Amino acid sequence: MTSYRLRSRLEFVVQVLRNPRGGGKRKINKTLDCEILNKKRRHLYMVHNKNNQLCFAICLAQHINPDLTDKQALERGRELQHLAGLTNYTPVALSEVNKFEQIVKCKIVVFCRGYDDRALSPFETVFPKSRNPMFLFLFQNHYYGIITDTEATSTARSTFALVIASLLRSCLQ
């Protein structure tokens, strides 16, 4: 080791460079909800229901049977919503998720952000684990169904679904 004696102050200038081609992924809790919707659109059931509050039930119907047309999913969603004791215009609150789990015998996990925390956190009931759980993303009082790897039609794995699945595994253990 060599040491040097300096008669004047030594000053370092440090500059942080970012990869010009992008690189580095942002964590999910720093990603805006609207960005999640835009970037992960192909991994989500996008329900357009301006005239009713059936987005939760329609996503559930599409999860149960991915081959349904939009019209068939709407009809099945109406049935599920009525079986849960809600009207077409009653939004599904998190406290009512258990009603739908009892109807379809399937674990439902809703990912949403807390009011004071940016972290994406799962909401789940005490319903037991199921073989094919359903994942939903809640944004601005609208539910988006998450297409998991078992439902994906392409060979590419869903990054968003993988993130959600890893969150779910840590929550259910």
Q: What's the rounded Cα separation, in Å, for the pair 67 and 73?
A: 9
Token pair 């969150």 is found at 167
The yes-or-no verdict on residue 42 having pLDDT over 90 is no
- Comparing 18 with 49, the larger pLDDT belongs to 49
CATH placement of domain 51-172: 3.90.70.80
pTM of the full structure: 0.66
Higher per-residue pLDDT: 132 or 97 = 97
Is residue 163 very low, low, confident or very high in pLDDT (cuts 50, 70, 90)? low
Q: Which residue has the higher pLDDT, 121 or 97?
A: 97
For 137, residues 6+ apart whose C-beta sits below 8 A from its C-beta are: 36, 44, 110, 111, 112, 143, 144, 145, 146
pLDDT of residue 19: 56
State pLDDT tens for residues 46-82: 788 888 999 999 999 998 998 999 999 999 999 999 9
The predicted pLDDT at position 155 comes to: 33
